[in-house]
Chains A and B, each alone.
Chain A
Amino acid sequence: MRAFTTLDGLVAPLDRANVDTDAIIPKQFLKSIQRSGFGPNLFDEWRYLDHGEPGMDNSTRKLNPDFVLNQSRYTGAQILLTRDNFGCGSSREHAPWALDDYGFRALIGTSYADIFFNNCFKNGVLPICLPADVVDRLFATCVANAGYRLKIDLAAQQVIEPDGTAHGFDVDGFRKECLLNGWDEIGLTLRHADEIRAFEASRKAEHPYYFR
């Protein structure tokens, strides 16, 4: 996995609550058997005026001028400001794949759905929770200032505004280490293969019917 240490990135605001993973990447694009290439279809139904299908030349499709990410000031954004319960619904990991492929490396919001939140960490995308009043202010400041950027320092667990104001955030210690180092979790787990085998053998002895 790609490591995440620090980021100094342009910020884009997506000001709606309960953004579900069907909106992040619609189902027709889930037919792909690849892990990459989902970026052009991120938020497809909001982003384009026509209906998207796999295999279309996205560069020729008409963009929805009212969708926030289509404003030129947000081109190249790496940090997405979000609202409550972002990433709810389907467990599709295609959602963080699409966000990552588009260029987003971090999300800042008030809350995320559990499965989506978990999936982000597996892909080097950092979902940050900040208090609602701070997020409100970041939305207002971002909208009022073209080219608004934020710095994120994962080791220090801080989001830093251009004037130096820093906001601390919580992150699970193990997930933080994995992100900072870009560790492969499967490799970490397999270091405990002997313990897994021992557990499995004793479970099988006690409950053989789970193992047929």
Chain B
Amino acid sequence: MQQAQTLYEKLWSSHVVRQDADGTALIYIDRHLVHEVTSPQAFEGLKLAGRKPWRVSSIVATADHNTPTDHWEEGIKDPISRQQVETLDANIREVGSLAYFPFKDERQGIVHVIGPENGATLPGMTVVCGDSHTSTHGAFACLAHGIGTSEVEHVLATQCLMQKKSKTLLIQVDGDLAPGVTAKDVVLAIIGRIGTAGGTGYAMEFGGSAIRGLSMEGRMTICNMAIEAGARAGLIAVDETTIEYLKGRPYAPAGEEFERASAYWRTLTSDAGAAYDKVVQMDAASIRPQVTWGTSPEMVSDINGVVPDPAAEKDPVKREGMTRALAYMGLEAGTPIKRIPVDRVFIGSCTNSRIEDLRAAAAVAKGRQKADSVKQVLVVPGSGLVKRQAESEGLDKVFVAAGFEWREPGCSMCLAMNADRLESGERCASTSNRNFEGRQGAGGRTHLVSPALAAAAAIAGHFADVAELN
């Protein structure tokens, strides 16, 4: 009998083109997602070396990082941003692709939102992109991870990557989530537990009844932030939720071919008794809504907690890091999280801009008003299709009635490469993935939360439990 295999081992072994004695392998790449920021130098390198792309039908491309989220009729005002987007246009026009969703296309959006919603991300694939949040696609039992620009060029030229096998880590989350606790809270709690380097060197699989109970949107939120725990790839096994999501998507197989593919996809689970290099158990019921207080995603508390005291930390490097973070964040140790006021709110990003996220935020916003003290609440759908779906459900009207701004899709204030950004010293409740110094604008202060908590902060003017509003 064949030895029990983890999902990662199955995905790895089905993509090895060749392997050297030292374990260095050539891995075949099925899907190559491309955006404007990390690809221009790769296309240029390819051209300078006189090489052609190996298989353009693997390429799905979009412009997302630099694109504005309002006044699309005015185009991209920043000339440097515009040049980058036009460079992508020119490169894709020249080499071709399976699909290209340029700026203003009705299916344009964040690369990690459009891949799955168009069925361009399918179970069993290897998926790469010059973007660390490519881990998102692991929610479909894909071996998916971010790469640098040199590797973007390598994949363009050879359809392969040179790699060694990762170690395997299972995060097992069992039990029922408490009401109001979402996928975002689960993944922030995981990062708080194992730290931002806890998954370094591992492929991180998420399992257990709490994970199986999540929608595909929730699973994508979890895998999206595997990289924030240090793991390049997050993974979740295929089940009927996965199969149902894929039915009828434009680039997914249809009819009899879908049935045949599904039979294979259903094997993309870890076998009973498969051995992992490391296992971490979490109790779902004990997880509360999470809010980060510092400048690393591991600096996280539950909503009922207080800002911790660096003096209580024994490790000098960590203590110094906490002290620096509190100074940057303008926070004092001992402050209850619920007393921290916010200046702006951002609902969006590849972590939390899908339809379920917008529904969760709208459910909180409905019939309520943004606090006067909050300067701006941006709601940025992950794609044109998400935007259209939300509008068909009337969510846009709920947001606008609450004093929120309903924008066009893109990465927006997750990393502030476009005009959406924090001013120095401003504090933001954000559904994005990174609270690094300056991430949302130089001097800006980011607190990572779920869409429901972001909307609650917009209404209350400070962090608040949804159940305690009004």
Contact = CB atoms under 8 A, between A and B. Distances in A.
A and B assemble together: yes
Contacts of A91: 38, 130-132, 146-148
A143 B78 CA distance: 43
Interface in B126-143: 130-132
Contacts of A88: 196-197, 230
Interface stretch (B151-159, B207-215, B374-382, B453-461): B151-159
A115 B442 CA distance: 24
Given A91-B147, A93-B38, A93-B148, A18 B196 contact: yes
A208 B57 CA distance: 12
A119 B153 CA distance: 12
Contact of A195 (B17, B122, B164, B439): B17
Contact of A189 (B148, B160, B436): B160
B55 interface: yes
Nearest to B28: A199
The interface residues of chain B, by DSSP majority, are classed as: loop
Given A115-B147, A189-B162, A33 B437 contact: no
Interface string B32-55: 000001101100110001010011
B148 A20 contact: no
B61 to A, nearest CB: 15
A33 B67 CA distance: 16
Contact of A17 (B159, B160, B201, B318): B318
Interface in B347-401: none
B251 A212 contact: yes
B290 interface: no
Contacts of A118: 147-148, 151
B196 A186 contact: no
B253 A209 contact: yes
A48 to B, nearest CB: 10
A55 B324 CA distance: 30
14 contacts: A22-B437, A88-B196, A89-B227, A89-B434, A89-B436, A93-B149, A113-B230, A174-B22, A188-B162, A196-B17, A196-B158, A207-B124, A207-B261, A212-B98
Interface of B: 17-18, 20, 22, 24, 26, 28, 30-31, 37-38, 40-41, 44-45, 49, 51, 54-55, 57, 65-66, 78, 80-81, 83-84, 87, 98, 122, 124-125, 130-132, 145-151, 153-154, 157-160, 162, 164, 196-197, 200-201, 227, 230-232, 251-253, 257, 261, 264, 296, 317-318, 320-321, 324, 415-417, 424, 434, 436-439, 442-443
Instruction: List the 10 closest pairs (A to B, CB-CB), nearest first.
Output: A93-B148, A122-B150, A119-B148, A209-B253, A33-B40, A91-B146, A91-B132, A85-B197, A93-B149, A31-B80
Interface of A: 15-18, 20, 22-23, 26-28, 30-35, 45, 51, 54-55, 83-85, 88-93, 96, 111, 113-115, 118-119, 122-123, 172-174, 185-186, 188-190, 192-193, 195-196, 199-200, 203, 207-212
